[in-house]
Structure 1
């Protein structure tokens, strides 16, 4: 395995391969679909211009993890033939090569340089029905929504403040013009210096939504600015094709941060997903004909699941029953 890693690293670094190495690489790619997939993903990942010279090992891991999450999510939507173990094998192999390259690159830059101190990361993950408040070392306040995960350093260092989000969170970032605050979500980075905004980027969602309350926010992809946002503006990014839609929004649309459940012209499927996360329950649709074609709008504050369901069932002309943590709709 080490020989093929050396060849892959040389290829990524645009170093010329001799005849034997070229033959070995071609044979290796033809040996299995896994090998061919690894090679394609390496090329695609390297095109994202990951700046390994400036990153710690943990940064490399985090960015690869987000990239693989996006790839896995896309492949789930486009093909159900890909087995999880295969994707895991690909991710592990890509990671191995990247770490090998990282160490070799560090050695090439300064062989006598002492090792960089490792950054200690903290992960906070909420299950369905959970929310929590988090205060970072710089004073930044974050409210993490249900079924969401945030990874952040125990103490910021260097010229940037970087965190990694899967799910939804509201950020009130401590202002520091000399140290931009960067939130990595899948293949999109949100860059600010001191502002408040909401990010919605659940793992299985095709869309990432960034909604700005105060200050200015930039969305980046592959080190290029996609869109800039002012207060009361939001960007909706399709992670499949990176298409961006910019529009205005109402603050009540992100009122979850104040423990207010708000729906605006939403259909039953969207409502069910939100309620499952909010209350930590499971919905079972016994009648596929039950739909809310015209959408539903409503606001609920500190109301029980039963109270919410009574309003929804009246508006949607359906019946429901609650059995422990399962809600049946018919």
Structure 2
């Protein structure tokens, strides 16, 4: 496997994988949402990626952070149109449907303002994301029969884009979320979450017990829904225990602040004139128990310190001048996850580390900091972005 980035800032690149070669001389920085969504290499990254393609796009977005919203919106658009047409999708159909979605979004905006105008590209990009995420389906109502026929498909896409992970094993299961957050499921637990979170919130649904290590984002609250409670955080680590057969739901906080609400009250706040609901705010080493048959929350200090750990199994690891590729392979086995990286680029990277009770995110951050790299979660796997270590030696 070989991979060369000649100019990642402009998107100019050359890469080869086996007998297939791609020669790209493209300035992706100038691409709109629609242009990205119809680009062959971009669509392959979203729908059927290879390690080389994933490496290119993750590196490109890391070095062009101002274009990341455009990239995320284009991904949403590709997924939506692909779900409608499945195997019948071709370049012509893709371009036509993307153009139609944007046109309808613009038309609705123009009608609401009572005038015809050319909308700024930034609004168009936001409208595309709004449409394909299922939040703006009403834009299609009253349009042509062809457009109306798309509505149920887009609604279905919203449901199909939800992923379900159930742990039926005796071991804990590590689940990687698209925002770099991590959920650790115990036996008999299930988590439901979207492939990509929308811009307003990060919502997951839990049955059973899981420890969450959430990436901080004040603009995008993280919500854990159980049958009776909603736990809301901006970025922290905590555990939720909510088995259907038990009479209680428990939330314990390791770091940061967590708000917990009765689910019925939280869901009715949007349509209610009452803006205050009876939730509780938890600080580190605090817990709250929701008593189901009494429909009330009871706050206190954490009674079982073991609940504050990401894993109930001690995962102590010691590495002494080990190749980082070997370290990453060990983490893959320990956590049951996939870590993607370029072996040649990391060939000269060697680290020493001792891990005790750190979370997976803390371990990944430490490793990446040691070798001057970074990482992101893409399609349920960790992708390492690195320039290598040879220059530092």
TM-score normalised by the chain length of structure 2: 0.37
